[in-house]
Amino acid sequence: MILQPLPPGRDLPAPLLTELTALYASHRDFLALSGDLPDPDDVRPEQVAALLADERAHPGAEVLLARSGGRLVALVITLSRHPDPADPDPWIGLLLVDASEQGRGYGRRVVGEVEGRFRAAGRRAVRLAVLDGNTSGLAFWTALGYEVVGHRSDHALGRPCAVLRKVL
């Protein structure tokens, strides 16, 4: 598996945008829960491009793509710091593993690589938020050693979340 940054620039190449749209569309239930898109049954390339442009606009944000055998299998968005200045930890903002590839270890490997990058940068812990109602997401993260450290609304849309943290 290869983990690489999303290419720079506002306009994504059409083949890549097609892959990213399919990746997002494979997560209908998550999109319905998150409300990130108006219709989780009709995910459009321009919507995905706009979501990713918004993510990349945050200072310290990085969008990483995971490929296996040349095929896009996952996407992870990281933040080197949270918008709250009192929060010292980097964050994993989003992890999407192609739904047809789940259960093959890609998510664990992506998270391991992200944690390794943060560790190499001298970071001591990492945080993330899981939307209330995302029971499979919560189970995934706690199985990887993340612990719930609080509950709050997310900064973007005010959605209730569990905040998890893992010491690196």
Residue 157: band (very low, low, confident or very high) from pLDDT cuts 50, 70, 90: confident
Query: Looking at residue 83, what is its pLDDT?
Result: 76
Name the strand (E) or helix (H) holding 148.
strand 147-153
CATH of 2-167, picked from 3.40.630.30, 3.30.360.10, 3.90.1580.10, 3.40.605.10, is 3.40.630.30
The gap from C-alpha 28 to its chain's centroid, in whole angstroms, comes to: 15
pTM of the model: 0.94
State pLDDT tens for residues 87-142: 899 999 999 999 999 999 999 999 999 999 999 999 999 999 999 999 999 999 99
Distances (CA, A) of 42 to 20, 27, 31, 105, 154: 14, 11, 11, 28, 25
The letter for the amino acid at 163 is V
DSSP 24-90: HHTTHHHHHHH--SS-TTS--HHHHHHHHHHHHTSTTEEEEEEEETTEEEEEEEEESS-SSTT--S-
| The pLDDT value given to residue 87 | 87
